Amino acid sequence: MKSIKLFFIALITFSCLSVAAQDKAEKPEKKEKIKVEKPYMVHDRSSKVNRVDIRKDLKGVENVIQIDATNASGGANLASTDKSLATAAISSVNVISGNYNQTRELAKTARGMSMQLLDVVFPCRIRVNMSDQYADIEIKEPGFWKISLGITN
pLDDT for 125: 97
- Residue 57 to residue 63: CA distance in whole angstroms: 11
Question: What are the residues facing 70 on neighbouring strands?
Answer: 112, 150
- Residue 63 to residue 39: CA distance in whole angstroms: 14
Low-confidence stretches of the chain (pLDDT beneath 50): 21, 23, 75-80, 82
pLDDT for 57: 94
pLDDT for 69: 94
Name the residue ranges covered by the structural domains of the chain: 40-151
pLDDT for 104: 95
- Residue 60 to residue 141: CA distance in whole angstroms: 13
pLDDT for 120: 96
pLDDT for 75: 46
Q: What DSSP state is assigned to residue 63?
A: -
Residue 140 near residue 39 (C-beta atoms within 8 A): yes
- Report pTM: 0.71
- Helical (H) or strand (E) element with 143: none
- Residue 10 to residue 8: CA distance in whole angstroms: 5
- Helical (H) or strand (E) element with 135: strand 133-139
